[in-house]
Chains A and B, each alone.
Chain A
Amino acid sequence: MKQCLAPLVESRPLGPGLLLHTYHDSDIAAHAKPGQFINVRVSGATAPLLRRPFSLCDADPAAGRFSVLFRVVGEGTEALARAGAGDRIDLMGPLGTAFQWEGVERALLVAGGVGVAPLHFLASQIWRAKQAERPAPRVVFAYGARDSGGLALADDIEKRVDLLAITTEDGSRGQRGLVTAALDPHLAPDTAVFCCGPTPMMAAVLRRMRERGLKRGWFSLENQMGCGVGVCLGCVVPTRDGYRRVCCDGPVLPAAILDFTALCS
């Protein structure tokens, strides 16, 4: 973990309101793992005050680069969206926990909307392991969004996985409906599930997993954060094991302890 002023290499629009930011910092690129995040000071002013956490979308240690994908939704992301190539951005990272896929033979990655970012990184890492002829799981990637415009990086993902199942709520691409409807053919008992998206979607995925008796799963959670390093206890979520800090006990938490009932209410 470190703090640095990382040059923004590229700010690339990937759809309506979606931006992919690529930064350069060799240390962060070398240490980043799928599921981890960076905490970005989006402006030098006191408003917005707090840093904004973004899941890493990819990291390339050889090029010393890493990227984040975000939707412009409020003051913080608006401020960050104004940054252009060459600007130096104050960021901390890599922070938090990562997806655990070692020893997994069958992986089902389930992404909803902009939650695709950490799973894109995971798919890339597994794909690179396969390229290097290291043991790596077979990957099915289920990707849901409201419409085809929200499916950032789908083409990129398709090249790196064994099967990509796309759903859109309006049917503009792939199967019409919610991503949870596309999971059933891929829920063999030895499957490990990796999931990130809106909370109701993650709750539905977890429910389906448990109905089918699947034990192994990792979910990437989101919450408003204060510090990002575990001191303020502001970002806790209730789990079967009590409160857990999203910033440092997570953002990736094991399915076994998750309890979305409280989070969805």
Chain B
Amino acid sequence: MNGLSTCERPALAVSLGPVRLKNPVAVASGCYGYGGNYREFYDPSRLGGIFLKCVTPAERPGNAPQRLVETPSGLLNAIGLQNVGIERFLREIVPAIEGIDTAFFANIGADDLDGYAMLARRLSDVPKIAAIELNISCPNVKKGCLAFGADPESARQATQAAVQSSRLPVFVKLSPNVANIGEMAQAVAEGGAAGITAINTLLGMAIDVETRRPKLANVTGGLSGPAIRPVAVRMVWEIRKAVPDLPLIGMGGILTWRDAIEFLLAGANAIAIGTGNFVNPMAPMDVLQGIEDYMAQHGFASVAELSGAMEG
């Protein structure tokens, strides 16, 4: 605790190594498009950061529908990394984010190490991109991605491939579908990661008992939403213990400011909202206000003080 005087407002800016966020509230990849869709609700420049929808070397049509199923307090999805590919990304998406003043993280996915290296290299020259988010944890594509996130050595190699090819800091998005998340965190740290984002979705499945068919065309999908939050908070806590000094952005089922505070207390330096945007388009702004009020009320002068401040 500290001596924040009653009339002072807490400092919201966060430093994640070389990346500075104006506040600790970001929006998660795949849940915010390329930054423009929520403009009618609030100015996206008020966000601490935007994790862009995943880009892959070539255009991908994505999985066949049905792509979504709602589950108790959760959402099961198998979108399959539908995106326009790196060439159109650079030509069409990058100019469109120019007017938004926030830290952009370009989420990249590939089938092999060369693909990761190529994407990391191409994005190095884009001034608007603050960092790369390495997607080694998408559970919904047949090749690559999750395969790299499933064991420490592959994760280290993918991280290294991106780090060596790019001038940008590389954050690695970890999959929860592993036995030991701390080991994964250490592996990507060894690979040169500038930070970690966690968690991606939990692998899940739902069956229609009348038709006896899987509800998703892809059979399995990634579970998000409040249903996974306790798992995510536990994993953020374990990652923090495994890599005490590595910048860490926590996510997984955050809907309200209370949820966000849990992640910060568990050791996250900042948080991201994913599925919560769909439930409440104002969630990022509501959460930001709630964090600020909480900090003022509890005497935290900065987000850094709050990060990892869980007692016991």
Contacts and interface: CB of A to CB of B under 8 A. Distances in A.
Contact of B65 (A2, A47, A223, A229): A223
Contact of B75 (A49, A235, A238): A49
A226 B62 contact: no
Interface in B170-220: none
A163 interface: no
Contact of A227 (B64, B225, B278): B278
B96 to A, nearest CB: 13
Given A1-B40, A229-B38, A242 B277 contact: no
A234 B279 contact: no
Nearest to B80: A233
B2 interface: no
A231 B31 contact: yes
A90 B286 CA distance: 15
Interface in A196-228: 223-228
A49 B70 CA distance: 7
B68 A231 contact: no
Interface string B33-56: 100011011000000000001000
Contacts of B68: 224-226, 232, 234-235
A243 B75 contact: no
A232 B30 contact: yes
Interface in A144-201: none
Interface size grouping (class) on chain A? 20 to 34
B297 interface: no
Interface string A1-38: 11100000000000000000000000000000000000
Given A41-B279, A226-B278, A243-B62, A49 B225 contact: yes
A3 B65 contact: no
A227 B53 CA distance: 14
Contacts of B40: 1-2
A120 interface: no
Contact of A49 (B31, B33, B37, B73): B73
Contacts of B289: none
B310 interface: no
Nearest to B67: A234
B62 A51 contact: no
A50 B70 contact: yes
Interface size grouping (class) on chain B? 35 or more
Nearest to A48: B70
B79 A3 contact: no
Contacts of B41: 2-3
B69 interface: yes
B164 interface: no
Contacts of A231: 30-33, 37-38, 53, 277
Nearest to A74: B70
B200 to A, nearest CB: 15
A226 B226 contact: no
A225 B225 CA distance: 15
B79 A232 contact: yes
A202 B40 CA distance: 33
B74 interface: yes
Contacts of B31: 227, 231-232
B278 A51 contact: yes
B62 A236 contact: yes
B278 A47 contact: no
A47 B281 CA distance: 17
Interface string A131-149: 0000000000000000000
A238 B65 contact: yes
B61 A230 contact: no
A237 interface: yes
Interface in B70-85: 70, 72-75, 77, 79, 82
B282 interface: yes
Contacts of B37: 227, 229-231
Contacts of B227: 46
A238 B67 CA distance: 12
A47 B72 contact: yes
A92 B281 contact: yes
A227 B61 contact: no
Interface in B235-281: 255, 275, 277-281
Contacts of A229: 37-38, 281
B282 A243 contact: no
B75 A226 contact: yes
A227 B277 contact: yes
Q: Rank and list the top 3 A-B pairs by shortest CB-CB distance, nearest first.
A: A231-B33, A234-B68, A46-B73
Interface of A: 1-3, 41, 46-51, 90, 92, 223-238, 242-243, 262
Interface of B: 30-33, 37-38, 40-41, 53, 61-62, 64-70, 72-75, 77, 79, 82, 225-227, 255, 275, 277-282
Given A49-B226, A50-B278, A231-B33, 20 more contacts: A2-B40, A2-B41, A46-B225, A46-B255, A47-B72, A49-B225, A90-B280, A92-B281, A224-B66, A226-B68, A226-B278, A227-B278, A229-B281, A231-B32, A231-B37, A232-B30, A232-B278, A233-B82, A234-B68, A236-B65
29 contacts: A2-B41, A3-B281, A46-B73, A46-B279, A49-B70, A49-B74, A49-B279, A50-B70, A50-B75, A50-B279, A51-B278, A223-B65, A224-B68, A224-B70, A226-B75, A226-B278, A227-B37, A227-B277, A229-B281, A230-B33, A230-B37, A231-B53, A232-B77, A232-B79, A234-B79, A235-B67, A236-B65, A238-B64, A238-B65
